[in-house]
Amino acid sequence: MTENLLEVRNLTKYFPVYGGVLRRVQGWVKAVDNVSFTVRRGECLGLVGESGCGKTTVGRAVLKLIPATSGQVLFEGRDVFSLQGPDLKALRHDMQIVFQDPYSSLDPRMPIGESIAEGLKAHGMRSARQRQEAATEMLRKVGLEAYHARRYPHEFSGGQRQRIGIARALAMQPKFIVCDEPVSALDVSIQAQVLNILRDLQQDFNLTYLFIAHNLSVVEHISDRVAVMYLGKLVEMADRETLYRSPQHPYTQALMSAIPIPEPDLKREHIVLGGEVPSPLRPPAGCRFHTRCPLAFDRCRTEEPPLLDLGNEHMVACHLRQPPPIDA
Amino acid sequence: MTQTDNLLQVKDLKTYFFTEDGIVHAVDGVDFSVKRGEILGLVGESGCGKSVTSHSIMRLIGQPGKIIGGEIWFDGKDLVQLSERELRQIRGNRISMIFQQPTSCLNPVFQVKDQVLEVLQIHQQMDRQHGTARVHELLKMVGISDPERRAKAYPHELSGGMAQRVMIAMGLACTPELLIADEPTTALDVTIQAQILELMRNLYRNTNTAIILITHDLGVVADMCQRVAVMYAGKIVEQTDVRRLFREPKHPYTQGLIGAVPVLGVVKDRLEVIPGSVPNLIDLPRGCRFAPRCRARLERGLTICAEEEPALRPIGLDHAVRCWLYE
Amino acid sequence: MNDITFDEISQRAEAITTPVRSPWAVVLRRLARHRSAQMGSVLILFFVLVAVLAPIVYPYNAIVDSNPVNRLKPPSAAHLFGTDSLGRDILVRIAHGARISLGVGVLSVLLAAVVGVLLGLIAGQAGGWLDNLLMRGMDILMAVPDLLLAIVIVAIRGPGLGNALLAISVVTVPGYARLARSMAISLRENDFIMAARSLGVSTSEILRTHILPNSLSPIIVQFTLGVASAILEMAALGFLGLGQQPPWPEWGAMLSDSAKFLGAGAWWALTFPGLAIMLSVLGFNLLGDGLRDVLDPRLKR
C-alpha cells in the first residue's frame, strides 16, 4: 500500500521575465525551487500555500503541461520528462488534471459530451456511439444525467461545470489526478458537493490525488498527507494528523492560526504575520520565510535550512526544528 | 428596539435588474437594521443579493438595475428619496464603502496621497497642507509604515493587502458613522486577510463606526461580527446574534451552510451537502425560495413550502427566521 | 423523488429544463433583436436579391448594347434612374453591377480571411522564428496604404476583374493574420486548451476543434466589415479604370464614366451608382457593428 506512484525529485521551474525594448530576459521568477516529494498509490497528498507560492506550477510541471527547468518526475518508475510522442500520449491516460476555474476550463463552443469524450477520441476511440456511451457513464458518475451531454457549458452552474471537468478527467480512467484548486471558485454548499464526489470517486476507482489548494480546512478534509509551500519551497510535510495537531514550521503555524474558524466563542491566539510575501523574482537569501518569521535569527538570514525528517516522516525546513540525534 | 438606536434601517428594499433575458430579482424585500457602533454580518453565497443590497444603500446601482421599492432610513432621512446632490454629502463622508478588489478601486494614474486627499477636500474642505498631514496620519493609522514615502506610490506599486489598507484609510478619512465592507478580504491570502481583519477590529474598537461586513465566509463572521443576517436568493432568511446563529441555527439553509464548511481541526468523514444550486433569480420558485433544496421540508412532508412564501418572523429575542417550520 | 433518499438526491446536480441552446443559437437570437443588425441585414438582403434577380429580369444585351438615341436621358417612367452617355438604362446596369460588387467583395474577403486566418493560427501556435517571419511580412504589407498597394498589384498584373479581386485579397490578408494570431495566443492561456493537451489531443486537433471555433466571433465581425471596405476598394479600382473593363457595368467604373457629364447636368448618372455603393457599404457596416455588439459580451449563463 505504501508503494510510491509518483516521485518528484528536485523539481525546479524558473519563468523568464522579459523587459526592455528588445524584450531580453531580465530576470527569472523562481516559481518552484528544488522541490521533492512522493505521492503514494491510493493516497491524497494535499499541497497548500498562498498565491504565488508555486503550488499550481508544481501540478502542471508534474504532468509535463509546462516544461520544467530541471529535476525529475517518476511516474510508476517512468521518467515523465523524457517521454515523447506515443509514450507521452500513453501517459496522458494515467495522469489527469481538474482545474480551478469552472468557466475557462470548458470550451464554450463544444457540447460537454464531446468535451468529456475528447481524450478518448484522441486516443483512438473511433466510434461516436462508443464515445457517447462513455461520456454518459462518466456524467452519471458525477451526478449528472445523460441528456446533459448535448448541452453547452454556458447552460451549467459553476458546481455543475466542475463536475463536468471531473468527468472529463475520469473518462481517461487515470490512476492519478492533479486537482488544482478544484473547489476554491465554488460557494460553500457547492464546494461540499464537489468534495464529496471527489472523495467517493477516489474510493470507487482507487485514485491517487495531488490536491492543490490554499484553503487549509479543505485540504485537511480530503488529504491523507499534507505538504506546505512558501515562495517556491516546500517548508513542511507530514501526515494530516501530525501536521494539523502539531505544525512545526513557523509559517505553517501562522497559516493555521490565521484561518478564521466558524465558532464565535473560540478564543485563539492569533499569530498575525507582518509584511507581505516577497517577490519570487528576488527571493530573500537564507530561509525564504525569514523576512516575516517571528522567530528568525541570524543564521536564518544567511543559511537555507534543509528539509529534514523529524521522525515519522514529518519533514520540516527550519533551523529551529532539528531531528532528534540518531542513537548509535 | 427603538428607532433611535438604529443607525440604519432598511425596510422592504427591492432592487431589480432589467436584463434582456428578464427581470432579475436580485434584492427582493430585504429588511434589517444596523445599530450604532455594531458590526453586522451579511452572509450568503454568490448571487444571494448581499452585494446588491450594499450597493443599494450607497445608491450605486447602475443600468440596467433599479431600486424599485423600499426605504433606507439613515439619520432620519430616506436615502432612496434623496437627490443625488444630498446623497453626495453622505457618501464617503458619513457612510463609506470598501470593496473586494482594492486595486481596481484605485485610479491607476494618481498617487495614493492624492486619492485620499481628494476625499478630504470634498467633504472637509481641507486645504492641501493640512490634508497631506492628515493623509499621512490616516495611512499610519491603517498600519502602513513609512507613510510619507508610501503616500507617493502609485496603485500598481501596492500589493493587494496594502491597497486594501489604503482603501480603508480612504473609507475612514471622514470618520463615517457607517462603513460598508463588501468582501474586503476575499481577494487576499489568509495571512494578509488576518492582517486586515486585525486592523479592522482595532479601528472598530477605537472609533464608533458601525460596520456592515459582507462576506461568504462563516469563519470571518464568527471572528468579527456581533449580529448576523443570512441572505438567500434576494431575501434575508435568518437574523440573530452571532452566538445564537452558530449555537442554534434555525433556518434549514443556515444549518446546511454551517454543516457544509470544513472546519480546521474537525475531521468529518463527509461534509453535509445542500443539494442543487441557487435558483434562477429571473424565474423564482413559487413559495419558499429554498424549498427545492430543503431537507427539512422533505422529511416533515410540508406542502405549504412550495406554495406560499413564509414571512421573516421573530421566534425569540432578536432572532427572526423565514421558514414554515417555525410558524 | 419518492423512492430515493435525500442523500442520493444531494449527490445529483439539479435538472436543466430549458431547451438546448448552442452558443451560436444564442448569438442569432440576440442578433435578431439588434436594431442596426436588422437594418444592415435588410439592406444586404435587398442587394443580394437584386444581384440574383437582375439577369432573370433584364437580358444581358440590355446592359452592353449602346443606344445613342437615348443618351443621357433624365429619369422617366421608361428609365427610372435615367440613361448613361451610351444610352443604357442605369437601373439595369446598377442591378447587374451588384453581382460584381457583392461577388468580388465577398469572394476577395473570403479568400483573404482563409489565407490570413491560416497564417495567423500557424504563427500564433508555432511562435519563434516562423512567427517572426510571417508577422514581419504582414507588417510590411500593412505599412503600405491599402489602395496604393492594390493599384501597384493591378498595375503589375494588368487591369481586370480577376486581378482586382486578387489585389484586394492581398491587402486584406494581414488584418486576418494578426487577428487570428492574437486569438490563438490569448486562447492558449485558457484552461480548456491546457485540458485538451493533458488529454493527449494533438496540436493540429486543438487548433481545429478549440482555437478556430473560438476565434470565429471576431473573425466574422471583421469579415462583415471587410466586405464593406472591399466594395469600396473595388469601386475605387473601377473608378481608376483598373477593375472590371467595359462594357461590363461596375459601380466604380460607372461613376468615372458619368463624372465627365456632370457638367452637362446629368446628375442621375452619378447619383444612383454612388447611392448603390453607399447603401451596400452601409448595410455591411451596420451588420458588422451589430455582430460586434452581440458577439462581444462573453457568453455567460
Q: pLDDT (tens digit, 9 = 90+) per residue, A65-113? A: 999 999 999 999 999 999 988 899 999 999 999 999 888 999 999 999 9
What is the model's pLDDT at position C4?
Answer: 43
Closest CA to A95 of A208, A206, A226: A208
C33 found inside a domain: yes
Taking residues B219-235, what's their average pLDDT? 94
Q: Is C219 helix (H, G, I), strand (E, B) or coil?
A: helix
CB B313 within 8 A of CB B323: no
What is the model's pLDDT at position B3?
Answer: 47
Q: Is C298 helix (H, G, I), strand (E, B) or coil?
A: coil
Q: How far is C29 from chain B (nearest CA, A)?
A: 11
Cβ atoms < 10 Å from Cβ of C8: 11
The band of A266, judged by pLDDT with boundaries at 50, 70 and 90, is: confident
pLDDT over 80 at A2, yes or no: no
pLDDT over 70 at C296, yes or no: no
Residues of A in contact with B275 (CB under 8 A): 193
CB B236 within 8 A of CB B50: no
Q: Residue A189 and residue B161: Cβ atoms within 8 Å?
A: no
Taking residues B9-26, what's their average pLDDT? 91
Q: Which residues contact B167 (CB under 8 A, 6 or more apart)?
A: B98, B99, B102, B105, B106, B184
C222 found inside a domain: yes
What is the model's pLDDT at position C3?
Answer: 39
Residues of A in contact with B270 (CB under 8 A): 196, 199
**Class at the top of the CATH hierarchy for domain A4-94+174-321:** alpha beta
CB A121 within 8 A of CB C208: no
pLDDT over 80 at C1, yes or no: no
The set of cell numbers assigned to A94 is: 494515467
Q: How far is B51 from chain A (nearest CA, A)?
A: 15
**Percent of residues, chain A, with pLDDT higher than 90:** 69
pLDDT over 50 at B2, yes or no: no
3-state SS of chain A is CCCEEEEEEEEEEEEEEEECCCCEEEEEEEEEEEEEEEEECCCEEEEECCCCCCHHHHHHHHCCCCCCCEEEEEECCEEHHHCCHHHHHHHHHHEEEECCCCCCCCCCCCCHHHHHHHHHHHCCCCCHHHHHHHHHHHHHHCCCCHHHHHCCHHHCCHHHHHHHHHHHHHCCCCCEEEEECCCCCCCHHHHHHHHHHHHHHHHHHCCEEEEEECCHHHHHHHCCEEEEEECCEEEEEEEHHHHHHCCCCHHHHHHHHHCCCCCCCCCCCCCCCCCCCCCCCCCCCCCCCCCCCCCCCHHHHHCCCCCEECCCCCEECCCCCCCCCCCC
pLDDT over 90 at C253, yes or no: no
What is the model's pLDDT at position C301?
Answer: 32
The band of C69, judged by pLDDT with boundaries at 50, 70 and 90, is: confident
**Mean pLDDT lowest for which of B218-227, B272-281, C130-139?**
B272-281
Partner-chain residue, chosen from A150, A160, A172, that has the shortest CB–CB distance to C13: A160
Q: Does A160 touch chain C (CB under 8 A)?
A: yes
What is the model's pLDDT at position A145?
Answer: 87
What is the model's pLDDT at position C23?
Answer: 82
> How confident is the model over B93-124, as pLDDT tens digits?
999 999 888 888 889 899 999 999 988 988 88
CA atoms of C236 and C253, how far apart (whole Å): 8
Q: Does B38 touch chain A (CB under 8 A)?
A: no
Closest CA to A11 of A66, A83, A49: A66
What is the model's pLDDT at position A218?
Answer: 94
What is the model's pLDDT at position A328?
Answer: 47
pLDDT over 70 at A26, yes or no: yes
Q: Does B282 touch chain A (CB under 8 A)?
A: no
pLDDT over 90 at C159, yes or no: no
The band of B270, judged by pLDDT with boundaries at 50, 70 and 90, is: confident
Closest chain A CA to residue B219? A262
Q: Does A232 touch chain B (CB under 8 A)?
A: no
C8 found inside a domain: no
Q: Does C202 touch chain A (CB under 8 A)?
A: yes
Q: Which of residues 134-193 of C touch A (CB under 8 A)?
A: 190-192
Q: Flag whether the ipTM exceeds 0.90.
A: no
Strand partners, B96: B179
Q: Residue C200 and residue A107: Cβ atoms within 8 Å?
A: no
Partner-chain residue, chosen from B20, B275, B295, that has the shortest CB–CB distance to C12: B275
Residues of C in contact with B292 (CB under 8 A): 14
Longest dimension (CA), chain C: 93
Q: Residue B277 and residue C14: Cβ atoms within 8 Å?
A: yes
What is the model's pLDDT at position C10?
Answer: 52
Q: Is C218 helix (H, G, I), strand (E, B) or coil?
A: helix
Q: Does A99 touch chain C (CB under 8 A)?
A: yes
**Percent of residues, chain C, with pLDDT higher than 70:** 91
What is the model's pLDDT at position A220?
Answer: 94
Q: Residue B273 and residue C12: Cβ atoms within 8 Å?
A: no
Q: Does C208 touch chain A (CB under 8 A)?
A: no
Partner-chain residue, chosen from C14, C16, C201, that has the shortest CB–CB distance to A118: C201
pLDDT over 90 at A12, yes or no: yes
Q: How far is C9 from chain A (nearest CA, A)?
A: 9
pLDDT over 60 at C5, yes or no: no
DSSP per residue, C97-155: HHHHHHHHHHHHHHHHHHHHHHHHHHHHHH-HHHHHHHHHHHHHHHHS-HHHHHHHHHH
What is the model's pLDDT at position A1?
Answer: 47
What average pLDDT does chain A have? 91
CB B164 within 8 A of CB B98: yes
Q: Which residues contact B110 (CB under 8 A, 6 or more apart)?
A: B154
Partner-chain residue, chosen from B276, B295, B298, that has the shortest CB–CB distance to C14: B276
Going by DSSP bridges, is the β-strand pair A70-75/A4-19 parallel, antiparallel, or unpaired? antiparallel
The set of cell numbers assigned to C12 is: 445529483
What is the model's pLDDT at position A18?
Answer: 85
pLDDT over 90 at C60, yes or no: no
Taking residues C47-62, what's their average pLDDT? 82
Taking residues A295-299, what's their average pLDDT? 92
CB B154 within 8 A of CB B106: no
Q: Residue B261 and residue A188: Cβ atoms within 8 Å?
A: yes
Number of structural domains in chain C: 1
CB B276 within 8 A of CB B292: yes
The band of A326, judged by pLDDT with boundaries at 50, 70 and 90, is: low
CA atoms of B306 and B284, how far apart (whole Å): 11
C92 found inside a domain: yes
* Helical segments of B152-267, H only: 160-172, 190-206, 218-224, 242-247, 252-260
Q: Which of residues 35-64 of A touch C (CB under 8 A)?
A: 60, 63
Cβ atoms < 10 Å from Cβ of B286: 11
Q: Residue C16 and residue A151: Cβ atoms within 8 Å?
A: yes
Indicate the pTM of the whole model.
Answer: 0.87
Q: Residue A97 and residue C301: Cβ atoms within 8 Å?
A: no
pLDDT greater at residue C72 or residue C138: C138
**Percent of residues, chain C, with pLDDT higher than 90:** 42
C70 found inside a domain: yes
- Cα four-point dihedral sign B308, B313, B315, B319: positive
The band of B4, judged by pLDDT with boundaries at 50, 70 and 90, is: low
Partner-chain residue, chosen from A50, A159, A160, that has the shortest CB–CB distance to B191: A50
> How confident is the model over C277-287, as pLDDT tens digits?
999 999 999 99
**Percent of residues, chain B, with pLDDT higher than 70:** 99
Longest dimension (CA), chain A: 68
Partner-chain residue, chosen from A65, A89, A145, that has the shortest CB–CB distance to C194: A65
Closest chain C CA to residue A96? C198
Q: Which of residues 24-53 of C touch B (CB under 8 A)?
A: 30, 33
pLDDT over 70 at A320, yes or no: yes
The band of C210, judged by pLDDT with boundaries at 50, 70 and 90, is: very high
Which 8-state DSSP code applies to residue C3?
Answer: S
> How confident is the model over A153-175, as pLDDT tens digits?
988 888 899 999 999 999 999 99
pLDDT over 80 at B77, yes or no: yes
Contacting subunits of B (3+ beta carbon pairs below 8 A):
A, C
Core vs surface per residue B211-246: b (16+ CB within 10 A) or e: bbbbbbbbbbbbbbbebbbbbbbbbbbbbbbbebbb
pLDDT over 80 at B230, yes or no: yes
Q: Does C208 touch chain B (CB under 8 A)?
A: no
Residue boundaries of the structural domains of chain A: 4-94+174-321, 105-173
The band of A327, judged by pLDDT with boundaries at 50, 70 and 90, is: low
Closest chain B CA to residue A278? B159
Inter-axis angle of helices C128-143 and C161-188, nearest 10: 140
The band of C231, judged by pLDDT with boundaries at 50, 70 and 90, is: very high
Residue C72's CATH number? 1.10.3720.10
Which 8-state DSSP code applies to residue B308?
Answer: S
CB B262 within 8 A of CB A48: no
CA atoms of B209 and A226, how far apart (whole Å): 41
DSSP per residue, C13-74: PPP--SPP--HHHHHHHHHHT-HHHHHHHHHHHHHHHHHHHHHHHS-THHHH---GGGTTPP
Closest CA to B289 of B263, B264, B324: B324
C45 found inside a domain: yes
Taking residues B223-230, what's their average pLDDT? 94
CA atoms of C209 and C134, how far apart (whole Å): 23
Q: How far is CA C262 from CA C161, C174, C258, in A?
A: 26, 38, 7
Q: How far is A170 from chain C (nearest CA, A)?
A: 11
What is the model's pLDDT at position B55?
Answer: 93
Residues of B in contact with A256 (CB under 8 A): 264
pLDDT over 70 at A227, yes or no: yes
Residues of A in contact with C21 (CB under 8 A): 152, 155
Q: Does B39 touch chain A (CB under 8 A)?
A: no
What is the model's pLDDT at position C16?
Answer: 63
Q: Which helix (H) or strand (E) holds C289?
A: helix C267-295
Closest CA to C81 of C274, C297, C278: C274
CA atoms of A133 and A53, how far apart (whole Å): 41
For residue C290, the enclosing domain spans: 23-299
Residues of C in contact with B298 (CB under 8 A): 1, 6
Residue that is written with C-alpha cell 499534507 in the block: A226
